[in-house]
Structures are given as structure tokens and as C-alpha cells.
A and B are shown apart, each in its own frame.
Chain A
Amino acid sequence: MNDLDLLLLVSIGTTAVLFAFGTWRWAGALGTLLYALQLALLAVMRPELPLASGIGFEVLGYRLQWSLSGLGWFFAIITVASALFSAWFAAGEWGQHRRNLRLLHGGLALNVTAMLILLASDDLISLFIGWELVSWASYLAMVQRGGPAMDAAYRYLVYALAGALAVLVAIAMIAAQSPALDFGSVRVWFASAGNGTIWTVMLLTMAGFGVKMGLLPLHLWQPAAYSESPGPIAAFLGAISSRMGLFAIIVVLAQLIGLERLGNLPVAFSFWNANEFWAWLAALTLIVPTFIALTQNDARMLLAWHGIGQGGYMLLGILIATPLGVSGGLMHVINYACYQAALFLAVTAVAHRTGTTDLDHLGGLINRMPLTYVTMLFCIIGLAGLPPMNGFVSKWMIYKALLDAQMPLLFVAAVIGTLGTILSVYKLIHNTFLGQLRLEHAQVNEVPISMWLPMILLALIVFITGWMPGLFLDLVDEAVVAIGITQLPHHLGGVDLGNGGLDMLWIVGVLLAAIGIGAIVYFLGNRSVRVGQFDNYAGGQILTADVPYQYSHQFYAGLLRVIQPWMRGGMAWGERALVSGADFLGGAMSGLYRAAPAGAYLLLAVLAALAVTLL
């Protein structure tokens, strides 16, 4: 039994234990410890990668085997760490007075197990098994709050099921032609397959795996499903769940088909190749949901929409296919997991205290919940991709790689996404923490340490790895090598390139020093007196708490007046059209059976058959 077997065993054990003792008072703490153990195991097995599991089956001539490559290991680290922080957050006060705690803890552990199984898969069948496990495990995590959450989860599952079937068809296609389904053989098969076949397989798999990732136009389920799930679960799902789709896409596009082949695969009737096609789809995925996020009035929905958009960056980075781009894309996965988890936790903390996440009904909480504010501040800077947080580093790598790879328009697309992100994260923090405190929140207090400590730790990780991106780039290297890309030379502060590098040690250092100078200049002036929020310029009006003096609704009215005409909800319309199409066909078919002039059908059918065969 090697480390991988042990890890899977511990993970399955965690699930079992947490389902068994989920309602126990210390279940959350126990879960946290068990995730820490899994993380330790992952750390231990790092030198042994890729590590093949001793478990394996052979069914119908197909060998099912599991092996953790550097890529899977990289994602596994993020998965387990996300679960660790989510469980930690739920372990204390947050979880104390909740029903369904068994489902919460057990569901989380089940998700981790399923994801580990997926990440360790080494052939298409085990990949598919892992994929379905992940789908259903996340369904279990999503439905917990009942009501609208169930509707959202149902929508997700229908998408996921249809997508999985598309993947299954692709696997069957490969199975019909390739002698075996392990990654090695499939790679060989892809090398010899024709363009048309590859396109079909690729479209099918992207349709399937793209569902989970929220690749346009398959993303519609995601915001509601994530934001309706319980806070820590939303943090976990938001941080890593969708990235499973990315993982599978990387496996198919980069590991099996190969990025070089992708570049040689033409799109019919155009100048494009497959690489550019997917890159533009990724660009759309990063732009459209980001600007939809801008229109959201619910903090969780806003974050969930951004989750989709950020996925676009990762895919875009990987499709650039240069070491810089791939490293950037993969690094964005881990960066994003840190700040997205912390953001969801922060929003959950706010909801825990105020009972709402409606951005029109919050405001001014900065003085009441300063630590939550700091968390959110650090993490929105990360999400927006501005220095000095880690989100900037990965985005910089993607930008730079795009420019180096002569893709200026994609670069501009990526920047547009970033601009939209900056706008909506400011809206998020402004409407939650800044502006006027509402009367009903005047007595709100900071969340207890069991909740703020994990958040703050994540926020610190976001900052420290922004300062020293080399820490994460080391992890990324494992994955990059596993994909078969040259390792990116880097140092603790960033990367050195011939034509303009990045050294975050210096940049953040200078920024901090300059802020110090700013502080000195600031303190040159006389000391200030702190005034209340009603001592405020209002054109001579005396402010009162019964009249809200806050600007939050339709925050970017001017911008929205320009871009809203473009948001016609085309994809939602398409979805509705599909549903009503199915309804219509369903009506027609059940009408056919219900009318049931049975004998007549038979006679007609016989006559038709005779007519067809004899004439």
C-alpha cells in the first residue's frame, strides 16, 4: 500500500466518519484534522510523483487504474486545502445551531473523496467514474438548504448529466477505435486520429467537462447552485468544484490531444485553429459572466458569476501553450481558490451576523466587522488582479504570455474582464462594508475567532503569495511538467524574462515603502478627529437614520445604460427554448400515446412497413 492508496483510504474514511458522527459537536474540528492529515499525506508523496495506486480492476476488457500525476496532485492540494478551511469555518459557531450538519460535513468529505478519485484517474473510464462521482457529490452539497437550492441543483444536475453523457459518447467513440482506454493508449490513438474525429471527440468532451467549468454557454446553472448552498460549502464549491471541469479539460486538451496538435487543427471555413477557437471561447467566458456579475444585487450571486469568469482566465492561460501561459493559467487556479474561498466565507460571515446578502440592504459594516472587512479587501484585490495580491501575478503571466504569443486581441479581452471585475468587486465591498451603516445593523458584532481565523489566514496567503509568488509557482511546476510543458524558470519574486519580467518582491516592497512614505506625509498634517457617519455633507440637510443616505442600488447606472442593451439574456433564452422544446415534444409524444387508437397504429405501421419494403 503506497501513499496514494493511503490517501484515498483516509479520504474515504473521513467521509464515513463524518457521515457517522456528523451531528457530534466536534465533528467539524475532527473533519478539519482529517483534512489536515490528507494534506500532510499529499505533501509527503510529492517526491514520488507520479504515483500509481495499487488498486485496479478490469471490467469488460478495460483496465481501471488510478495514478496521481503532478497535475492531479496540484489540484488535489487545492481541493483538500479548500475543504480544510471550509470545515474549519463551519466547525465553530457557524455550525452550532444548524440542522443537516451530518449532510454538511459528510457531503463535504464526500466531495473531497470524489474529487481525489477523479484527480487520480489514469484512464478514461476511471476519469468518467470520478467525474460522475464529483457531479453527484456536489449535487448533494448543493441541495442542502432545500427550496430554491434544490431547483438550482436540479438545473445543475440536468446540465451535468447531459454533459456527462456527451463525454460518455466521446469515450465510447474512442473505445470503438482505440485498443485500450488508458491515457497512454488514448494519446497514441489521438496522434493517429483524423481531424474530424478529434473535433467530434473534443466538442463532446468540452461540452461535458465545460458544464462543470461553466464554459459558455453551459454556465447558466452555476451562480444559483453555488450561491444557494450553505456558506462553507459555497466556499468550497466556489473555490475548487468548477476547477474539476478545468482539470478534465486539461487532461483532454493538453495531455491527451496535446496543445501542439490543437494548434494544427483547423476550424472549418475559417482562419482559426482549434486552439484559437477555445481561447476565444475562454475569453467570452471571462468577459460575459464578469459583466453579468456587475448587475447582481446579491453578494453570493456576484461572487458565483465571477467564479465562472475567472475560469475563463485559467483556460485561456493554458491554451496559450507557452510555459509562461500554462504556468499562469494553473497558478490562477490556486490563487483563485484562495481568494474565492475567503470571499465566500466573508460573505457568509456577514450573512451570519446580519442575516442578508442583499447588497441593497447592507452597508457601513466596516466598523462593526473589521476583520471580515480586511479579508474581503485583500481578496477582492486578488480577485480584481491588482498588485500586491496573488491574483495579479497569475493574471500578469497570462497577459504577458498573450502578448508574447502575438495574441493582442485576447490580451485586450482579458483586460476587459479585469476591468469589469474591478468594478464589481468595488461594488461588493462598498455596498457591504462602506457607506452608511444601517440602523438595524448598529449592534452587529464581529464573528468569533473560529470563523475569522480561517478567513484571515486565507487572506494572508493571498497577500504573501502575491509578495512571493515563487511559493505557488513551485507547486505549479509539478503540474506544468505533468502536462508536458517546459518548466518555467522562476524565483521567489516572480519570473525573469528577456523582454520585461516581474519581481513581486521588489514591486510589493516598493509599494509598501511608498505607502509608508504616504503615511509619513499623512501624519505631517494635524491629527484628525473622528466624526460620525451623519456628520456628512448633504447640501445642508441634517441627516437622519430613518432616511437612508446610501448609494447602492444600480451602482453603475451609467455603464449599465450602455452595456445592458447587449445583455439580452440570449443564453438564458436558449435554455428556455430548449426546455419549452422538450415540453412541446413531450406533449406531442404523450398525446400520441394517450390518443392510443392502438389497433390503428398497428395497422398503419404494418401498411407503412409493407409499403416501404415492397415498393
Chain B
Amino acid sequence: MNASVLMIALPLLAAFLLPLTGPLARWVGPFAAALNIALGISLWQTVAQEGPSVVVMGGFAAPLGIVFRVDTLAVLFATALAALVLILWPRTSADPRRESALLLILLAAGCGLAFSGDLFNLFVFYELIAVASYGLVAASRERLAAAAGLRYLVLSALGSAFALLGIGLVYALAGTLNLADLSRHADALNSPLGLAAFALMLLGFGVKAELFPVNAWVAEVYSTATARTTALLAGGVSKLALLIVLHLVLLVYAQPAALSLLLTLGLLSIVSGQFAGYRAADLPRMLAYSSIAQLGMIAAAFSVSGEAGVLAGLALALHHLIVKPALFLVGDGWPKCVDSLAGLGRAEPWRAALFVLLALSLLGIPPLPGFWAKLLLLKALLGMGEPAWNLAAAVVLLGTAIEGAYLLRVLQTLFRGTTNAKPATFGGALPAGVLGVALLLVMLAATPVGGALQRAAQQAADVPAYVADTLGGSPQ
């Protein structure tokens, strides 16, 4: 059995066996996640040596059967998700069993989503993730959290319905849901109806990807759910939703209209997110809005056809995956209101320093990794050479300037004056610290990391190879 399948099966198995493990229950989850990371690393090596591979399920070859596509991109996402889950694993929890199970299911589904080579499977795993995340959001015992969670649930369900509608339309138009196969039938979708299907899917998956009009849940949920859940949602889940979008635009909807739609939504996300963040008075909300804008940037990057866009989006996504969870964790336990942060920089210098580091990277200050991601994004946007994408570069500029204004306001407040308040407990010290160190490591190892990302992007953007790999080069 391929390691990729193991990466899905193991956490699932662990989740189901959890009730039986008794006192070992709290160790099962981390162990499974760690195992997943190890598997991911081994897979990475395999892929690096042998190139992408396709795993066929149940003996039916594509396009009929279920296929897993194991390439660098997928391995990267799966491993990163596993690492994130491990880092964010709750040490104390009101209901450890249930939370562990949900996390493991989320991990499994996430890996599955990363590897899936077919639209329906993508949707299934997406739904699985959604279910797990509802549970996690609802785990917080606050009343506000419950209300926010409910709203999230409703919106997410509606989104899923539309996505399913879109998938149905695609199936009706193209007669297949296998991505490779769809790629060959892309012409069939190059019609108003096909585009409508794309729009439906985009908006549907956009709920999790925090795309502009369908992301109204974000600020509320992030500011009420526990920091770890928020971190996981902002850092991991949203990226997975965007991964689906990436698959769609890369393989199926490489048509200008679809790209423009994606770009438009991305830009609107940037503008709305940054400006809302500029006005936000409390820290989690501010970070949530920033998250919306950052994901908008990733969407804008994915709207650039070709390798440059994939590379930029990938870099941005991974960077955001490291930085934003860490930011949420650092902010956890601090007063929510930004003005009340005054003096904390003196009281808790290391924590504040970590916040500064992360914020700077988020803004794209060199030589932190965020800078490279932003450079790649701008280069990709301008490389398109089309007015809309040039405009996008300007919007990114404006958005980041606004983001700078509000993040700097936080930094400024942290180091202004002194506080009498006792230092809050820094529950997320370990995970945030690990993420911070990871960030610094990436900065130091910019050369190899950059190379790896480039290879991943190259591989992912090589559509003919994808099609050939999956369908075995068979002519239809």
C-alpha cells in the first residue's frame, strides 16, 4: 500500500480506535500526526527521486476509478498539514477524546484532499474537513462561539451545496470528474454554463477559502473560537480549499474568464480584508481580516496562469500557514482590544518580539520569507502583462500598505508605555515558538526552500505531464 494511502488511513484508523486506547488516548493523536509527517517525508524523497506517481484505487484505472496523484505539491500540503496539526495539538482539553478524533479526521481528510485526483473525491474530503471543523469550532464552550459556529455551519453547508451543484454541472457538461480527464475535456466547459459551474464551485469552496463575499463568518469565528482551532482553520483548512481551486484553474479552467473571476474575488478579498482590518479594534479580528486579505493574495496568485502563479501562490500559502497560526497563538491570552496591549512589549519581551517577527514577515519585510513570497506574487502578477493583473499588483501594494498601517499600530501599542497587568499565560508558547523557529529556518535556508518550491510549482504546472501520468498516456 502506498504511503499516500497510509497517510489517510492511519489517522482515520487512529480516530476510530481512540475510544479503545484508554489511558494512551492522549498520545495516539500526536503519534499518528508524527507518523504522517514521517510518511510525508519519505514520500517527498520518493517523489523527488522518481517523479510524481499515481495510485489507483480498487483496480479501476482512471478516468473511471478513484486515483490518488502523488506529486510534490500534494506531499507538501499533506505534510505541512500534518506538521501543523502536530504543532497545534492541544495539551489540555475539556473533551480530549472528541477533539482528538476530530483533529485526526481533519488530518486524514486533508491528506486525502491533497492527494485526490478527482473532483468528487475532492468534494468528499472537503466535506469531511468541514464536518470536523464544525466540531472543533463548537468545542469552545462560549455562547458567542456557539452562535458563530452555527453561522459558520449554515454558510458552509450552503457553500457545499453550491459546490456540489457546480460539480454536478461539470459532470453534466463533461461527463467525467477526473481532473486529468476533465483537463482533456476543458473545451466542453468553455461555455457560459461551464463558467457558471466554475463560479458555483469557486463560491462554494470559497467559504472555507475565505474568498470575498462568502467569508462573513471569518472574523466572528476566529475571534471567538479557541486559538488553536482558529490557527488550524486559518492556517490549514483555508489552504486546502484553495488547493481545490488551484486544481480547478490549473487543469480545467485555464480560460481567461475563469481566471479573471478568481482574480476579481481575490482582489476584493484583499481590499475588503485589509480595510476592515485597518478599522478593527481587537486583535483576533484584525488578524482574521488580515487572513482574508492574505488568502485573497493567494487567490490572486493562482489566477496567474502557469508556473509563476503556482509558485507565488504556493510560497504565499506555506508562508501564511506558518505565520498566521503563530500570530493567533501569540495573541491568545492577551487582551483582545488593541489599545489594551500597551506596555506588554516591556512585560513580555520575547512574546512581543515573536509577534514583531511574525508581523514583519507577514508584511514582507526582507530578508524574512514573506518578502520572497510577496516578490514572487508581484512578479507573477506583472508577468502576465495584462491590465487587470497590473492593477492587481497595485491593489496588493495598497493592501499591504494598509496592512502595514494596522499591524504597525499593534507593534507601536505593544511598546508604548508600561502596564501593571500581570503577564498573561502564554499557552501557545511552544507551538508559536516552533513556528517562529521554522520561519527563521526558512529564512536561513531560503536557497534550498526556494529551489524545492520551484520544483514543486514546475511539476504542478506541467499539465500535460499530469494528464499523461494519470491517464497512462492513453489516447482517450
Contact = CB atoms under 8 A, between A and B. Distances in A.
Direct contact of A and B (CB under 8 A): yes
Interface of A: 57-61, 125, 128-129, 132-133, 136, 143, 146, 150, 154, 157-158, 161-162, 165-166, 168-169, 171-173, 175-176, 582-583, 585-590, 592-594, 596-599, 601-606, 609-610, 612-615
Given A60-B454, A602-B158, A606-B203, A129 B397 contact: no
Interface string B257-301: 100010000000001110111111000000001000000000000
Contacts of B198: 613
Interface in B183-223: 192-193, 195-196, 198-200, 202-203, 207, 212-220
B401 A161 contact: yes
B415 A143 contact: yes
A593 B289 contact: yes
Contacts of A172: 375, 378-379, 381-382, 393
Contacts of B380: 176
B280 A590 contact: yes
B374 interface: yes
A169 B385 CA distance: 13
Interface string B431-442: 000000000000
A602 B155 contact: yes
B151 A588 contact: no
Contacts of A614: 192-193, 196
A173 B379 CA distance: 6
Given A602-B213, A606-B199, A136 B365 contact: yes
Given A154-B408, A598-B155, A609 B200 contact: yes
21 contacts: A60-B376, A128-B366, A133-B366, A157-B404, A157-B408, A161-B404, A165-B364, A165-B401, A169-B393, A169-B394, A176-B379, A582-B278, A589-B273, A593-B276, A594-B219, A598-B151, A599-B155, A601-B214, A602-B158, A602-B214, A609-B199
A89 B38 CA distance: 58
A489 B393 CA distance: 46
Given A129-B367, A582-B278, 6 more contacts: A58-B447, A60-B372, A162-B397, A586-B277, A601-B213, A606-B203
Contacts of B289: 590, 593
Contacts of A594: 219
Contact of A588 (B203, B275, B412, B451): B275
A146 B416 contact: yes
Contacts of B162: 602, 606
Interface in B217-236: 217-220
A275 B404 CA distance: 33
Contact of B207 (A58, A162, A602): A602
Contacts of B275: 582, 585-586, 588-590
A598 B376 contact: no
Interface in B405-447: 405, 408-409, 412, 415-417, 446-447
Contacts of B360: 136
- Listed from nearest, the 4 A-B pairs whose CB atoms lie closest are A586-B279, A172-B378, A609-B199, A605-B213
B276 A592 contact: yes
Contacts of B199: 606, 609-610, 612-613
B133 to A, nearest CB: 16
B177 to A, nearest CB: 20
Contacts of B213: 601-602, 604-605
A211 to B, nearest CB: 11
B135 interface: no
Q: Is the interface of A mostly helix, strand, loop or mixed?
A: helix
Contact of A589 (B202, B271, B400): B271
Interface residues of B, number: 75
A586 B409 contact: no
A300 to B, nearest CB: 22
Contacts of A582: 275, 278, 402, 405
Interface string B356-392: 0000100111110001101110111111010000000
B27 to A, nearest CB: 39
Contacts of A133: 366
A609 B446 contact: no
A158 B401 contact: yes
Given A602-B162, A606-B199, A161 B408 contact: yes
Q: Most chain-B Cβ atoms within 10 A of its Cβ — which of A125, A588, A593?
A: A593
Contact of B261 (A171, A176, A609): A609
B168 to A, nearest CB: 14
A326 B394 CA distance: 34
Contacts of A592: 272, 276
B154 interface: yes
Nearest to B363: A161
B192 A158 contact: no
Contacts of B280: 590
B335 interface: no
A307 B378 CA distance: 34
B450 A60 contact: yes
Contacts of A588: 275
Contacts of B272: 589, 592-593
A60 to B, nearest CB: 4
Nearest to B155: A598
Nearest to A605: B213
Interface in B145-173: 151, 154-155, 158-159, 162
A154 B412 contact: yes
B197 to A, nearest CB: 9
A59 B373 CA distance: 12
Given A601-B214, A610-B196, A57 B447 contact: yes
B365 A132 contact: yes
Contacts of A59: 372, 446-447, 450
B461 to A, nearest CB: 15
A598 B216 contact: yes
Contacts of B192: 613-615
B378 A609 contact: no
B200 A606 contact: yes
Contacts of A589: 271-273, 275-276, 279
A609 B264 CA distance: 11
A474 B254 CA distance: 60
Nearest to B400: A165
B150 to A, nearest CB: 10
Contacts of A162: 397, 401, 404
B318 to A, nearest CB: 14
B385 to A, nearest CB: 8
Contacts of B412: 150, 154
B297 to A, nearest CB: 13
A27 to B, nearest CB: 20
Interface string B50-61: 000000000000
Contact of B366 (A132, A158, A169, A606): A132
Given A61-B454, A165-B397, A169-B393, A596 B404 contact: no
Contacts of A585: 271, 275, 278
Given A154-B412, A158-B405, A587-B279, A598 B196 contact: no
A586 B409 CA distance: 15
Q: Most chain-A Cβ atoms within 10 A of its Cβ — which of B151, B371, B378, B447?
A: B378
A175 B311 CA distance: 15
Contact of B378 (A150, A168, A596, A597): A168
Contacts of B154: 598-599
B415 to A, nearest CB: 7
A593 B415 contact: no
A599 B157 CA distance: 10
Interface string B449-469: 011001000000000000000
Nearest to A147: B416
A599 B158 contact: yes
